[in-house]
Amino acid sequence: MKVEVYVVSHKKYKIPKKDGIYIPIQVGNGEGIPNFLRDNSGENTSFKNNSYCELTAQYWAWKNRDANVKGLVHYRRLLVEKNVFLNKFNYNLVLGKNDIVNILKKYDVIVPQKRNYFVENLRNHYNHSHKKIGLITTELVLKEDYPEYFRIFEEHLKSTKSHMFNMIIAKADIFDEYSNWLFEVLRKVENKIDISNFSESEQRIFGYLSELLLDVWIKKNGLTFYEFPVGFVEGESKLIKGFKMLKRKYLKSE
Average pLDDT per run of 10 along the chain, which is 254 residues long? Answer: 97 97 94 95 96 98 98 97 83 97 98 96 97 98 98 98 98 98 98 97 98 98 98 69 46 48
The CATH number that applies at residue 31 is: 3.90.550
Rounded to a whole number of angstroms, the CA Rg of the chain reads: 18
Q: Give the pLDDT score at 39.
A: 97
Nearest of 76, 78, 54, 66 to residue 3 by alpha carbon: 66
Q: Give the pLDDT score at 199.
A: 97
Nearest of 29, 18, 10, 21 to residue 75 by alpha carbon: 10
The total domain count for the chain is 1
Q: Give the pLDDT score at 249.
A: 47
Range of the domain at 115: 3-251
What is the distance in angstroms between the CA of the first residue and the CA of the last residue of the chain?
A: 49
Q: Give the pLDDT score at 251.
A: 58
Q: Cα–Cα distance between 82 and 174 in angstroms, integer? A: 25
The 3-state DSSP class for residue 191 equals coil
